[in-house]
Amino acid sequence: MAALMNAVSRVRAPARLLILLLPAAPAFAHWNTNTRRDAFIAEDFQASLLRCLPRDAFYFASGDNQMFLLSYARFVENRRPDLTFATDFALIFPNPFGEDFFRLPARDRMARRTEVMRRLAEQDPRPVGYAPAGHFSTLGIPSLPTGLLYLVRRGGRQDEGRPPAADQRITLRETPSGRSEYLSRDIIAQRHYLLGESRLARGDRPAALAAYRKAAFAAQGSGGREPVEWVATNIAASLLAHQMPEEAEGMARRAIAINPLDVNGHLNLGLA
């Protein structure tokens, strides 16, 4: 370092200034891309998700975005100690699938996971919620879209869509510096997807399709961005469940374009 400074000191003043400014050039050129001065999406998502959960609920998180944000809320901030968290793969939070879960063959792990989730939904007295993209969402258990998650429907109630108060629990500040990030696009897609689910449950198909289109737009991966894969697949499955095969076909094709190996995407396309 001393030798470098000595070499710089022997250079003429204008050239010396240029040398000192060179490292700053990339910072100025890419400032708007990399600044996080207005990136509140992680904070907003964590707070909104916690507000959507009833007291003493059991919640199955899915994906890194939820697991990391909820683990920070639990283990660092000690927020909502009344809640119980778990994940599909028994990571980070206490394992609800049994001590031998990780020693089981893959097929048996899947069966155990399904068995435990169904038992919780049917027998546990606590409210049970789950993320849109997790294994729980594939089990066909009657549920209500509620804000940023699903809540298992209990007692045969036929509630129409998400409770109105859920909208008031959600604050997601979309900011210019955050719109290209995977985290932001995944969260915004979840929000619009669940709005579509709620509208569809109430029979408002035009409003549901509008919300689904917004979810698909948020999830797209143009410009070198990684697409949010689960969105188009889940939308296609929802449309098929509500006898909308033409609309489902378009979403299934979008899912396959994102990931040609998406088994559920091909299944949805075949059913459409």
Summarize pLDDT for 11-31 with one digit per residue, the tens.
556 666 666 677 777 766 776
On the question of pLDDT at 133 being above 70, the answer is yes
Rounded to a whole number of angstroms, the distance between the first and last alpha carbons of the chain is 67
Is there a contact between 122 and 139 (Cβ–Cβ < 8 Å)? no
What one-character DSSP code corresponds to residue 7?
H
CA distance 90 to 85: 10
140-173 pLDDT, tens digit per residue, is 888 888 888 889 987 644 444 444 455 556 777 7
What's the pLDDT score for residue 162?
Answer: 43
Q: Where are the beta strands (DSSP E) in 163-247?
A: none
Q: How many CB atoms lie within 10 A of CB 9?
A: 8
What's the pLDDT score for residue 241?
Answer: 85
**What are the tokens at 63?**
């994906």
Is there a contact between 265 and 233 (Cβ–Cβ < 8 Å)? yes
pLDDT band at 263 (very low <50, low <70, confident <90, very high): confident
CA angle 23, 24, 28 (to 5 degrees): 140
What's the pLDDT score for residue 164?
Answer: 43
On the question of pLDDT at 4 being above 60, the answer is no
On the question of pLDDT at 3 being above 50, the answer is yes
**What are the tokens at 142?**
């009657």
Is there a contact between 243 and 272 (Cβ–Cβ < 8 Å)? no
Q: What is the mean pLDDT of the chain?
A: 81
What one-character DSSP code corresponds to residue 53?
S
What's the pLDDT score for residue 163?
Answer: 44
Count the residues in the chain: 272
State mean pLDDT over 176-190. 72
